[in-house]
Structure 1
């Protein structure tokens, strides 16, 4: 990366494709050696980790990569991580979240620069560059590369991202007769900008009206009852996810919880993980069902 002179090549072998995964590791190792760069490698059995933690393969892989980057960064005294996500990866994420019914937070796509839970600065320098541009550069300069064979399938049983990549995006390009990645990214950036403002307004509203109490309950004030639904839903989502760490909170659960503000006949709402939201004496409490 321009301006950085002490780059460290990192590769995590997920052990998902047998000899092919080992070949990827050798390729990364040889490439780092050819360019005289330090190299860090680790191997994690992602299938076993997903089984042990009862997480999806995608989540287990992401958690393993984060832990790997944190460990390498700490050992080398670094705080920057560069990832190779490109524009097509970003668009796949945007469409995937859009069709899952995500709100603005989900469809904002990937941020060019963000922070990891471990405090690392994550930079994606290729986020505005399409895969077609990258392939053109590779061909022009005669570069060798490795392709993950699992990215090729696009049948009904293939991962959703594969089908978006090989079927949805080519269809959209053909229909509109132009590249759609830039348009979808602009849409996502606008959504992200609006989401940032709404989140800022939510934080200011919580502080101004002192809604959160020391016992982690939420005060049901007139201001909260009459606030715009966009603010109400964000307050509830933040309170449940961040304050109480309730998992699997989606739009359906938020909409049910909002009935506690509008309906005098609803005093309890069931939530995931055998939890229940209860209204009592002008406050909202979370309890075990």
Structure 2
């Protein structure tokens, strides 16, 4: 038997607290009050793993409990859940078993079910993630859903922060996984929201809660493969850190939350930066700063947040931008010598005179700097 088949069913563990599931339900309700989603459609990304199974079961249980309570004033009958599973086609019959498991779980919980098949070729982390996200967005759009719910845990957030730190990411990367964010920056994209209501729950806590009720899940053997950087962080790096700092995960999560609060303030200032310095976004043309610009507006931290927003709007490869790339732009922002350099995604940055222009290198005509 494979690992994923062996761990397909779990009886309650004798050491599992009997109220573990109820405690998780309480935390979930506090993180995402049912009144915010009971009357709309929600796509729940479900791999069949413990975290996503717990999220789907939590949402179904809370929705049903609210609907059956005559004193709740619930409008849940107008809302619905869609269990969405992406079959990457990389693990043969194990992947087939995952899809069948999620389909059966959706039937048991009275949820709609969506399945998509990958090409079975791309196995790197970035491609797998992008394919899943695109599928979830298509599903939400076709089904008319308001939310896409994902089951990232506190441990996932900590691993993300460490991954970003080791890549040299800036303040936004060190804030970790956003608990919620809109699908895009355009007005028509604001109605679709990604939400992660289990970000404060520990991975072991979620599994204890499932065991307390005898709920089964699937184990993906690829999660043990340390060739994937996140797995290496989980299996190799975190144990070393926690051997010296037992509360490291909670401490890193607290630091990330503090960083995110700072980011919210910086984002507001970033909007002001865009209004002041961005002449237009197509092509991206930025006014270079004078040496006597007000520090609060001229801060590189604020400028980087503004540029990240623009990168997202342009659908440029934000994830490939390292701190060294952002610093190259930072060095060109103040009035000074002309400069030309390349950025990820075949972007060409030209700093000349009092402007910076960033364009795709396949543009047919050279963009002239405006006077």
Shorter-chain TM-score tier = 0.7 to 0.9
* Matches for 1:166-185 after TM superposition, within 5 Å: 166-178=235-247, 180-185=248-253
Q: Find the counterpart in structure 1 of residue 156 from structure 2.
A: 89
Match for residue 339 of structure 2?
A: 268
Partner residue of 1:252 out of 312, 316, 324: 324
Partner of 1:152: 224
Identify if the C-alpha distance between structure 1 residues 219 and 18 changes in structure 2 by more than 3 Å, giving closer, same or farther: same
Deviates more, 1:222-231 or 1:77-86: 222-231
Match of 2:350 in 1: 277
For residues 158 and 273 of structure 2, the distance between their equivalents in structure 1, rounded to whole angstroms, comes to 33
Structure 2: runs of 5+ lacking an equivalent: 1-58, 64-75, 367-371
Instruction: Tell whether 2:299 aligns with 1:228.
Output: yes
Q: Work out whether residues 13 and 21 of structure 1, in 8 Å CA contact, stay in contact via their aligned partners in 2.
A: yes
Shift in alpha-carbon separation, 1:75–1:187, aligned structure 2, 3 A: same
Aligned mates of 2:117, 2:200 — CA distance in 1: 31
Q: Please, which runs of 5 or more residues in structure 1 have no aligned partner?
A: 51-55
User: Residue 190 in 1 paired to residue 264 in 2?
Assistant: no
Aligned alpha-carbon RMSD (Å):
2.9
Q: Could you give the per-residue CA deviations for residues 100-124 of structure 1, whole angstroms, max 9, x where no partner exists?
A: 1111111111122222245522221
Q: 1:149 to 1:89 in 2, by over 3 A?
A: same
Distance 2:152 2:176 in 1: 11
Among 104, 128, 140, the residue aligned to 1:30? 104
Q: Which has the higher contact order (CA 8 A, sep 6+)?
A: 2
Q: TM-score, normalising length from structure 1?
A: 0.82
SS at match of 1:217: strand
Whether 1:106 and 2:180 are equivalent positions in the alignment is no
CA distance in 1, matches of 2:342, 2:193: 34
Aligned residue pairs, count: 275
Residues 137-172 of structure 1: CA deviation (Å, up to 9, x unaligned): 222222221001011134xxx211112111222222
Identify the residue that residue 135 of structure 1 maps to in structure 2.
Answer: 207
Moved more, 221-230 or 86-95: 221-230
What SS does structure 1 have at the residue aligned with 2:80?
coil
Whole-angstrom CA distance in 1 between matches of 2:308 and 2:357: 14
Q: Does 1:18 align with 2:116?
A: no
1:90–1:127 contact (8 Å) kept in structure 2: yes
Query: Offset at 1:241?
Result: 6.5
Tell me, what secondary structure is at the counterpart of 2:178?
Answer: coil
